[in-house]
Amino acid sequence: MSSRMGRCEVEALRGDVVESVHRVHVAIAHADQGLIASAGNPAHHSFVRSSIKMFQALPFVEAGGVERFALTGEELALCAASHGGEPFHVAAARSILAKAKVTEAALACGPHLPLHEPTASAMLCAAETPGRIHNNCSGKHAGMLAHCAQQQWVTNGYHKPAHPMQQRVLTTLTHWMRIGAEEVSVGVDGCGLPTFAIALDAVAEGCARFSAAVLSGDPAPTTIFNAMVAHPEYVAGTDRLDTDLMRAAGTRLFAKVGAEGFYCAGIPSMKLGVALKVEDGSKRAAEPAILAVLQNIGAIAAAELDRLKKYTHPELLNTRNEVVGHVRTSLHL
């Protein structure tokens, strides 16, 4: 790896013809050395969306929230999750709220059907109406409400940028990513919380420093990391890359997807952080691209990658369920 700028593209082929090309920006940082490799524009400025949920959970863990409310590893993993709304996800979110003595009505996220299609289908068949608890971000919101209860902050408006909860999150991000608040643009995420547009290389450095903190045994990052890798099914769910990748890698890395083609990962043993953004926001490009990067830097072995083949080389199907093409990644760091 070197600090020179490389290239990453994900191509969609129909038959043997390239039909579409997705440009990908990648930044790889070392906790001590800063940016060490890249593809595209490593300073690309874009919204991190859900990819930095481990940082959003840090204030709660640092303040002793896990001990105060006796959260399980599964429940803490859900605080950093974009979950599928499967029954065990919903049960964990409700448990967090119950321990904090906060009702579901306090959740600021909007209702939607579970992302896990079999669960959504079962709810539709049973004529069940989805609630806020089924939102893929309900674990993060439940954790924030618990933190508000712990700090004796009003829960009303906890999702607003001016609330102490969100101010603490912003301070956490700027600290770990070594940037000033003026370098962050704030928008509204899909779940109603603030989301932050940050340069890719700064996000990678934040993930690298988080990884190094885990390696050194820093309590809060280590607690979050251990929860994520021990219970990856709570970070995402059935047939989701985050879950399957962390299962395949064991305790070697953490990975977290964000909407619109954003991805973060960290490898504690190497003190590395990765931030990736697909320029056009494509999910189908983000998944094979992050796996290609992790393979390139030696964070995941070939045998482990083989277990993730449906993500590395996804097939394109038509309405007859026929394979009509595939996706491939071209990466030069």
Q: Does the pLDDT at position 2 exceed 60?
A: no
What does the alpha-carbon distance between residue 201 and residue 240 come to, in Å, rounded to a whole number? Answer: 26
Model-level pTM? 0.96
Two tokens at 172?
């956490």
**What are the distances in angstroms from CA 208 to CA 52, 69, 214?**
12, 29, 10
Residue range 6-59, pLDDT digits in tens: 999 999 999 999 999 999 999 999 999 999 999 999 999 999 999 999 999 999
What does the alpha-carbon distance between residue 99 and residue 245 come to, in Å, rounded to a whole number? Answer: 30
Give the amino acid at 100: A
**CATH code for the domain of 70:** 3.40.710
Two tokens at 326?
């595939």
How large is the average pLDDT for residues 299-309?
93
Give the count of domains, the chain: 1
111: three-class secondary structure by DSSP: coil
Q: Residue 26 forms beta bridges with which residues?
A: 39, 276
What does the alpha-carbon distance between residue 141 and residue 102 come to, in Å, rounded to a whole number? Answer: 11
Residue range 274-298, pLDDT digits in tens: 999 999 999 999 999 999 999 999 9
Q: Which domain holds residue 137?
A: 5-332
Residue appearing with tokens 């904090």: 100
pLDDT-derived band at 1, boundaries 50, 70, 90: very low
Q: Mean pLDDT score of the chain, rounded to an integer?
A: 97
How large is the average pLDDT for residues 117-136?
98
Strands 254-258 and 45-47: unpaired
Residue range 76-108, pLDDT digits in tens: 999 999 999 999 999 999 999 999 999 999 999
